[in-house]
C-alpha cells in the first residue's frame, strides 16, 4: 500500500525510481507504474546490492506486521532485512536512507501517550514482537549514519486511506461477523496518518531533515477511536457497533489468550491481543511539530477528504 503510493508520487516529481520486487506480479506492478523493477528480497544481500547500485537515495518501506507478542516471526525481515539494506546502501555509496518507522514504538513506556514528541524514548514492549523489532530496526538505521550516509526515520501512525489497508479490512470483517467490540467505548483520542500524508513526509525526508533524526508525521488534529473507526466502517458501507469492553477486562482477556496461544503454539493471532488493547485503552497523542518545522511537512489531505476518497475507491472496486 505505502510503497506503491510512494513510487507513483516520486515518478510524478520527476525522479527516476527503482523498486525491489519479491515476485513477478510485484515486478509487473512496479513496471506498470513507470518504475524499474529489480527482483529481490531484503533477506537476499546480493539482490539488494544489485538494487542499490547506482542509486543516490533509498526509502525502506518493507516489513512484516502483526499483533503477536513473539519477536521471532518479525525479526528476520524487520531487523535483519534492515541491516542488509544498510549494508547494501553503504557499499553502493548511497547518500541517504529514509526508513519507515512506527509511531507505536512509543508503546511500552508505562505512561499515557499524551503530549509526546521525538524526545520520548522508543521501546521494546514485551506484548508486541512487531513493535520491538521496529524499534530495533530504527536504532540500526540511526546508528548507521555517517558523513557519507545520512539516515532519517519517518514515523507514521496507523497508515490508512486505500482499499489495501489490511487493518481496516480486518475490522470490517469483525463488524460483519458481529465480533467487534470497542475498548472503553472508543473514547480515547489518537493520531492517524493517511497514506498520502505519509508519502508526503517520506518525499520531503529525501531532501530535508537532520541526519540521525526521527520525525513523526500525522493527519491534522486528533480523533477519538470510535469516531475514526466509525468513519472507516462507513466508507466500507458498515455501521460500527456500540458494544464495548472496559480496558481492564480487555487487558485480562488479551493476557490470557496470549498465554494460551504461546503454550499451544497455535498459528495466527488471538481474537484479542495485548497490542490491540495497548493501542485502544488509552490516548495516543503525539506532536509532529518537528517534521513541520524541519521537513516543511503539511498534510496534503484532511481526514474528511481522505474518508471521502476511500469511500469512492471502495465503491469503484465493488462495482468493477
CA distance 310 to 320: 15
Residues catalogued as catalytic:
130
CA distance 39 to 48: 9
* Residue 196 pLDDT greater than 80, yes or no: yes
Q: Angle between the 82-91 and 45-52 helix axes, to the nearest 10 degrees?
A: 40
* Residue 149 pLDDT greater than 90, yes or no: yes
- 76 C-beta neighbours (distance < 10 Å), count: 13
Residues 85-103 have pLDDT tens digits of: 999 999 999 999 999 999 9
List the grid coordinates of 4: 506503491
CA distance 266 to 288: 39
According to the CATH classification, is domain 2-319 in 1.10.10.10?
A: no
Nearest-5° angle of CA 232, CA 237, CA 243?
Answer: 65
Residue with cell 518525499: 203
* Residue 320 pLDDT greater than 80, yes or no: no
Let me know: does 42 contact 81? Beta carbons within 8 Å: yes
CA distance 94 to 198: 22
- Domain boundary assignment for the chain: 2-319
List the grid coordinates of 187: 473514547
CA distance 64 to 130: 7
Residues 273-298 have pLDDT tens digits of: 999 999 999 999 999 999 999 999 99
DSSP readout, 293-310? HHT----SS-HHHHHHHH
Give the residue with greater pLDDT, 177 vs 271. Answer: 177
* Residue 224 pLDDT greater than 90, yes or no: yes
Nearest-5° angle of CA 276, CA 282, CA 285?
Answer: 105
Spell out the alpha helix ranges (H) of 119-208. 129-143, 166-177, 195-205
Confidence of residue 161 (pLDDT cuts 50, 70, 90): very high
Amino acid at each position: 500500500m505505502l510503497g506503491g503510493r510512494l513510487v507513483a508520487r516520486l515518478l510524478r516529481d520527476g525522479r527516476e525510481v527503482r523498486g525491489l520486487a519479491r515476485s513477478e506480479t510485484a515486478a509487473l506492478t512496479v513496471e506498470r507504474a513507470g518504475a524499474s523493477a529489480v527482483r529481490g528480497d531484503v533477506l537476499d544481500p546480493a539482490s539488494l546490492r544489485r538494487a542499490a547500485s547506482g542509486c543516490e537515495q533509498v526509502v525502506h518501506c518493507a516489513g512484516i506486521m502483526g499483533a503477536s507478542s513473539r519477536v521471532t516471526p518479525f525479526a528476520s525481515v524487520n531487523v535483519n532485512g534492515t541491516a542488509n539494506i544498510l549494508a547494501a546502501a553503504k557499499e553502493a555509496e548511497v547518500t541517504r536512507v529514509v526508513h519507515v518507522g512506527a509511531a507505536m514504538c512509543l508503546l511500552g513506556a508505562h505512561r499515557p501517550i499524551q503530549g509526546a514528541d521525538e524526545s520520548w524514548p522508543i521501546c521494546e514492549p514485551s506484548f508486541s514482537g512487531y513493535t520491538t523489532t521496529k524499534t530495533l530496526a530504527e536504532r540500526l538505521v540511526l546508528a548507521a549514519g555517517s558523513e557519507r550516509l545520512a539516515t532519517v526515520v519517518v514515523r507514521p501512525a496507523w497508515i490508512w486511506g486505500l482499499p489495501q489497508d489490511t487493518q481496516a479490512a480486518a475490522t470490517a470483517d469483525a463488524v460483519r461477523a458481529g465480533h467487534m467490540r470497542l475498548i472503553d467505548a472508543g473514547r480515547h483520542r489518537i493520531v492517524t496518518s493517511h497514506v498520502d500524508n505519509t508519502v508526503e513526509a517520506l518525499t520531503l525526508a529525501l531532501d530535508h531533515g537532520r541526519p540521525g533524526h526521527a520525525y513523526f508525521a500525522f493527519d491534522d488534529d486528533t480523533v477519538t477511536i470510535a469516531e475514526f473507526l466509525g468513519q472507516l466502517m462507513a466508507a466500507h458501507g458498515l455501521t460500527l457497533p456500540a458494544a464495548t469492553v472496559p480496558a481492564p477486562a480487555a487487558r485480562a482477556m488479551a493476557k490470557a489468550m496470549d498465554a494460551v496461544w504461546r503454550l499451544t503454539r497455535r498459528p495466527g493471532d488471538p481474537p484479542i491481543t495485548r497490542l490491540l488493547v495497548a493501542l485502544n485503552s488509552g490516548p495516543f497523542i503525539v506532536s509532529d511539530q518537528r517534521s513541520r518545522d524541519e521537513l516543511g511537512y503539511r498534510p496534503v489531505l484532511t481526514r474528511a477528504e481522505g474518508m471521502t476518497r476511500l469511500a469512492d475507491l471502495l465503491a469503484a472496486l465493488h462495482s468493477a
